[in-house]
Homo-oligomer: A and B are copies of this chain.
Amino acid sequence: MGEVKVLGAWPSPFVMRARIALNLKSADYEFIQETMNPKSQLLLESNPVYKKIPVLLHNQRPVCESMIIVQYIDDAWPTGPSILPSDPYDRAIARFWAAYIDDKWFPSLSTIARAQGEEARVEAIKQVISGIQLLEEAFEKCSKGKSFFSGDSIGLLDIALGCFLGWIKTTEKMAGVKILDPETVPHLVGWAERFCADSAVKEVMPETEKLIAFAKAKFQPPSK
Protein backbone atom coordinates (compact mmCIF):
# COMPACT_ATOMS: atom_id res chain seq x y z
CA MET A 1 0.00 0.00 0.00
CA GLY A 2 3.02 2.28 -0.23
CA GLU A 3 4.37 4.76 2.28
CA VAL A 4 2.10 5.69 5.18
CA LYS A 5 2.81 8.39 7.76
CA VAL A 6 0.69 9.87 10.51
CA LEU A 7 1.53 13.37 11.62
CA GLY A 8 0.26 13.76 15.16
CA ALA A 9 0.83 13.94 18.89
CA TRP A 10 0.38 11.15 21.43
CA PRO A 11 -2.21 12.87 23.69
CA SER A 12 -4.55 13.79 20.83
CA PRO A 13 -7.75 11.71 20.67
CA PHE A 14 -8.20 12.72 17.04
CA VAL A 15 -4.75 11.43 16.09
CA MET A 16 -5.59 8.17 17.86
CA ARG A 17 -8.51 7.66 15.45
CA ALA A 18 -6.17 7.50 12.46
CA ARG A 19 -3.78 5.15 14.26
CA ILE A 20 -6.53 2.76 15.42
CA ALA A 21 -7.95 2.60 11.89
CA LEU A 22 -4.51 1.77 10.46
CA ASN A 23 -3.98 -0.85 13.18
CA LEU A 24 -7.34 -2.45 12.35
CA LYS A 25 -6.17 -2.76 8.73
CA SER A 26 -2.77 -4.12 9.90
CA ALA A 27 -1.14 -1.27 7.98
CA ASP A 28 2.46 -0.33 8.79
CA TYR A 29 2.98 3.38 9.27
CA GLU A 30 5.46 5.87 10.59
CA PHE A 31 4.22 8.02 13.45
CA ILE A 32 5.69 11.52 13.24
CA GLN A 33 5.39 13.43 16.49
CA GLU A 34 4.36 17.00 15.67
CA THR A 35 5.83 19.50 18.11
CA MET A 36 3.11 22.11 17.42
CA ASN A 37 5.07 25.04 18.78
CA PRO A 38 6.18 26.09 16.25
CA LYS A 39 4.17 24.04 13.77
CA SER A 40 6.33 22.02 11.43
CA GLN A 41 6.74 22.90 7.77
CA LEU A 42 5.32 19.47 6.95
CA LEU A 43 2.12 20.22 8.90
CA LEU A 44 1.71 23.69 7.38
CA GLU A 45 2.16 22.31 3.88
CA SER A 46 -0.01 19.21 4.41
CA ASN A 47 -2.96 20.94 6.05
CA PRO A 48 -2.83 24.59 4.92
CA VAL A 49 -6.53 25.20 5.64
CA TYR A 50 -6.64 24.16 9.31
CA LYS A 51 -2.93 23.61 10.17
CA LYS A 52 -4.10 20.89 12.57
CA ILE A 53 -3.20 17.31 13.39
CA PRO A 54 -3.83 14.55 12.49
CA VAL A 55 -2.66 14.41 8.92
CA LEU A 56 -2.37 11.07 7.15
CA LEU A 57 0.26 11.04 4.42
CA HIS A 58 -0.33 8.18 2.00
CA ASN A 59 2.34 8.10 -0.66
CA GLN A 60 2.96 11.77 0.16
CA ARG A 61 -0.67 12.74 -0.43
CA PRO A 62 -2.24 14.36 2.65
CA VAL A 63 -5.65 13.52 4.09
CA CYS A 64 -6.92 15.78 6.90
CA GLU A 65 -9.68 15.68 9.52
CA SER A 66 -9.80 12.57 11.69
CA MET A 67 -13.16 11.07 10.66
CA ILE A 68 -12.37 11.70 6.98
CA ILE A 69 -9.05 9.94 7.52
CA VAL A 70 -10.80 6.94 9.11
CA GLN A 71 -13.20 6.66 6.18
CA TYR A 72 -10.31 7.09 3.73
CA ILE A 73 -8.40 4.25 5.40
CA ASP A 74 -11.49 2.06 5.16
CA ASP A 75 -11.80 2.87 1.44
CA ALA A 76 -8.10 2.61 0.59
CA TRP A 77 -7.48 -0.69 2.44
CA PRO A 78 -10.53 -2.62 1.25
CA THR A 79 -9.04 -6.01 2.06
CA GLY A 80 -8.89 -5.48 5.82
CA PRO A 81 -11.88 -5.74 8.19
CA SER A 82 -14.58 -3.16 7.39
CA ILE A 83 -14.62 -0.08 9.59
CA LEU A 84 -17.94 1.19 8.26
CA PRO A 85 -21.01 -1.02 8.58
CA SER A 86 -21.98 -2.67 5.30
CA ASP A 87 -25.69 -1.82 5.57
CA PRO A 88 -26.48 1.71 4.27
CA TYR A 89 -28.83 2.49 7.16
CA ASP A 90 -26.40 1.25 9.82
CA ARG A 91 -23.72 3.35 8.12
CA ALA A 92 -25.90 6.48 8.29
CA ILE A 93 -26.63 5.89 11.97
CA ALA A 94 -22.93 5.38 12.75
CA ARG A 95 -22.11 8.63 10.91
CA PHE A 96 -24.91 10.44 12.76
CA TRP A 97 -23.61 9.53 16.21
CA ALA A 98 -19.98 10.10 15.22
CA ALA A 99 -20.93 13.64 14.15
CA TYR A 100 -22.94 14.11 17.36
CA ILE A 101 -19.88 13.16 19.41
CA ASP A 102 -17.68 15.71 17.64
CA ASP A 103 -20.19 18.54 17.26
CA LYS A 104 -22.10 18.34 20.54
CA TRP A 105 -20.65 15.96 23.07
CA PHE A 106 -16.89 16.50 22.96
CA PRO A 107 -17.12 20.33 23.15
CA SER A 108 -18.88 19.88 26.51
CA LEU A 109 -16.26 17.38 27.73
CA SER A 110 -13.44 19.73 26.87
CA THR A 111 -15.30 22.62 28.55
CA ILE A 112 -15.31 20.90 31.97
CA ALA A 113 -11.59 21.53 32.56
CA ARG A 114 -11.64 25.06 31.15
CA ALA A 115 -15.02 26.32 32.36
CA GLN A 116 -15.01 29.87 33.68
CA GLY A 117 -16.89 29.70 36.96
CA GLU A 118 -18.87 27.02 38.77
CA GLU A 119 -22.11 27.58 36.83
CA ALA A 120 -20.44 26.94 33.45
CA ARG A 121 -18.66 23.88 34.88
CA VAL A 122 -21.90 22.38 36.24
CA GLU A 123 -23.65 23.02 32.92
CA ALA A 124 -20.83 21.33 30.96
CA ILE A 125 -20.95 18.28 33.27
CA LYS A 126 -24.73 18.10 32.81
CA GLN A 127 -24.31 18.14 29.02
CA VAL A 128 -21.64 15.43 29.12
CA ILE A 129 -23.74 13.18 31.35
CA SER A 130 -26.92 13.58 29.30
CA GLY A 131 -24.91 13.01 26.11
CA ILE A 132 -23.34 9.84 27.42
CA GLN A 133 -26.84 8.64 28.33
CA LEU A 134 -27.92 9.18 24.71
CA LEU A 135 -24.84 7.25 23.57
CA GLU A 136 -25.72 4.39 25.96
CA GLU A 137 -29.11 4.13 24.21
CA ALA A 138 -27.39 4.36 20.82
CA PHE A 139 -25.07 1.52 21.87
CA GLU A 140 -28.01 -0.71 22.75
CA LYS A 141 -29.59 -0.08 19.35
CA CYS A 142 -26.43 -0.21 17.20
CA SER A 143 -24.61 -3.14 18.80
CA LYS A 144 -27.63 -5.46 18.67
CA GLY A 145 -26.31 -7.35 21.70
CA LYS A 146 -22.77 -7.66 20.38
CA SER A 147 -19.48 -6.32 21.78
CA PHE A 148 -19.10 -3.08 19.87
CA PHE A 149 -21.24 -0.34 18.32
CA SER A 150 -20.34 -1.94 14.99
CA GLY A 151 -21.05 -5.52 16.07
CA ASP A 152 -18.34 -8.09 16.64
CA SER A 153 -15.42 -5.80 15.88
CA ILE A 154 -14.42 -2.16 16.24
CA GLY A 155 -15.90 0.19 13.65
CA LEU A 156 -16.43 3.88 12.88
CA LEU A 157 -18.54 4.79 15.90
CA ASP A 158 -16.38 2.77 18.29
CA ILE A 159 -13.36 4.75 17.09
CA ALA A 160 -15.26 8.07 17.23
CA LEU A 161 -16.15 7.67 20.91
CA GLY A 162 -13.40 5.30 22.04
CA CYS A 163 -10.61 7.75 21.24
CA PHE A 164 -11.93 9.92 24.10
CA LEU A 165 -11.76 7.21 26.77
CA GLY A 166 -8.37 8.36 28.05
CA TRP A 167 -9.65 11.92 28.33
CA ILE A 168 -12.90 10.77 29.95
CA LYS A 169 -10.92 9.00 32.69
CA THR A 170 -8.63 12.02 33.03
CA THR A 171 -11.63 14.36 33.36
CA GLU A 172 -13.25 12.02 35.89
CA LYS A 173 -10.14 12.10 38.08
CA MET A 174 -9.29 15.77 37.70
CA ALA A 175 -12.83 17.15 37.98
CA GLY A 176 -14.13 14.58 40.46
CA VAL A 177 -17.11 13.55 38.31
CA LYS A 178 -18.34 10.13 37.24
CA ILE A 179 -19.06 10.00 33.50
CA LEU A 180 -18.86 6.28 32.78
CA ASP A 181 -21.01 5.20 35.72
CA PRO A 182 -21.86 1.46 35.84
CA GLU A 183 -25.22 2.34 37.42
CA THR A 184 -26.38 4.63 34.61
CA VAL A 185 -24.45 3.51 31.50
CA PRO A 186 -23.63 -0.17 32.16
CA HIS A 187 -23.35 -1.09 28.47
CA LEU A 188 -20.84 1.67 27.75
CA VAL A 189 -18.76 0.69 30.79
CA GLY A 190 -18.42 -2.86 29.43
CA TRP A 191 -17.81 -1.55 25.92
CA ALA A 192 -15.05 0.80 27.14
CA GLU A 193 -13.20 -2.12 28.76
CA ARG A 194 -13.43 -4.22 25.60
CA PHE A 195 -12.37 -1.29 23.42
CA CYS A 196 -9.26 -0.47 25.48
CA ALA A 197 -8.24 -4.15 25.61
CA ASP A 198 -8.39 -4.56 21.82
CA SER A 199 -5.01 -5.10 20.17
CA ALA A 200 -5.66 -2.26 17.68
CA VAL A 201 -6.20 0.18 20.55
CA LYS A 202 -3.92 -0.95 23.39
CA GLU A 203 -0.66 0.47 22.08
CA VAL A 204 -2.09 3.90 21.21
CA MET A 205 -4.31 4.55 24.25
CA PRO A 206 -2.31 6.73 26.64
CA GLU A 207 -2.22 5.88 30.34
CA THR A 208 -4.51 8.10 32.40
CA GLU A 209 -1.69 9.17 34.72
CA LYS A 210 0.36 10.36 31.75
CA LEU A 211 -2.61 12.34 30.40
CA ILE A 212 -3.21 13.90 33.82
CA ALA A 213 0.43 15.05 33.96
CA PHE A 214 0.11 16.43 30.43
CA ALA A 215 -3.17 18.22 31.25
CA LYS A 216 -1.71 19.74 34.42
CA ALA A 217 1.28 21.09 32.53
CA LYS A 218 -0.89 22.41 29.68
CA PHE A 219 -4.04 23.74 31.29
CA GLN A 220 -3.10 24.70 34.82
CA PRO A 221 -0.97 27.79 35.42
CA PRO A 222 2.27 27.16 37.35
CA SER A 223 2.01 28.12 41.03
CA LYS A 224 3.86 31.32 41.86
List residues of chain A with CB under 8 Å of any chain B CB: 49, 58, 61, 63-65, 68-69, 71-72, 75-76, 88-89, 91-92, 95-96, 99-100, 134
Output the residue of A68, A92, A99, A134 with the most chain B CB within 10 A.
A92
- Taking CB atoms, residues of chain B closer than 8 Å to A91 are 71-72, 75
The answer on a CB contact under 8 Å between B95 and A71 is yes
Q: How far is the CA of A63 from the CA of B88 in the complex (A)?
A: 11
Q: How far is the CB of A92 from chain B (nearest CB, A)?
A: 4
Q: Which of B49, B63, B64, B96 contacts A134 (CB 8 A)?
A: B49
- Taking CB atoms, residues of chain B closer than 8 Å to A71 are 91-92, 95
Q: How far is the CB of A145 from chain B (nearest CB, A)?
A: 20
Q: How far is the CA of A91 from the CA of B61 in the complex (A)?
A: 13
- Taking CB atoms, residues of chain B closer than 8 Å to A72 are 88-89, 91-92
Closest 10 CB pairs of A and B: A75-B88, A72-B92, A76-B88, A68-B95, A63-B92, A68-B92, A68-B96, A72-B88, A65-B96, A64-B96
- Taking CB atoms, residues of chain B closer than 8 Å to A49 are 100, 134
Q: How far is the CA of A65 from the CA of B97 in the complex (A)?
A: 11
Q: How far is the CA of A95 from the CA of B64 in the complex (A)?
A: 10
The answer on a CB contact under 8 Å between B68 and A89 is no
Residue of B at shortest CB range from A134? B49
Q: List 14 A-B contacts (CB under 8 A).
A: A49-B134, A63-B89, A63-B96, A64-B96, A65-B95, A65-B96, A65-B99, A68-B95, A68-B96, A68-B99, A71-B92, A71-B95, A75-B88, A76-B89
